[in-house]
Amino acid sequence: MTTKPKKETPEKAVPETKGAALIYVGPTNKLITRYTVYKNGYPPHLKEQMEEYKVLKSLFVPLERLTEFEKKVVQKGTPEQIWFQEAQKYFSGVRK
């Protein structure tokens, strides 16, 4: 018997953990640079954007998941690749 892999949702992609170092793996834009590491959670200057666009949380991963994310972001159709592309579209419209 085979089981289908569960689809990972943005809300469950990265657990909120205080004190954990997260690395931003999304596209560079006016507000944030790719591969920036944040200690103690998400960057406060992106609070408004993260509330408006929930997928952004998926682009902050624990350091130990960086290699895994990088492999998946280049594979067509993976959640990581979709999140990255959606973030590019989102940030192209951000004027702050």
Of residues 73, 52, 65, 49, the one with CA closest to residue 17 = 65
Please state, in angstroms and rounded to a whole number, the distance separating the CA atoms of residues 91 and 86.
Answer: 9
- The 10s digit of each residue's pLDDT in 14-73 is 445 567 899 999 999 999 999 999 998 899 999 999 999 999 999 999 999 999 999 999
Backbone angles phi, psi at 24, to 5 degrees: -80, 120
Residue 8: predicted pLDDT = 46
Residue 20: predicted pLDDT = 82
pTM of the model: 0.77
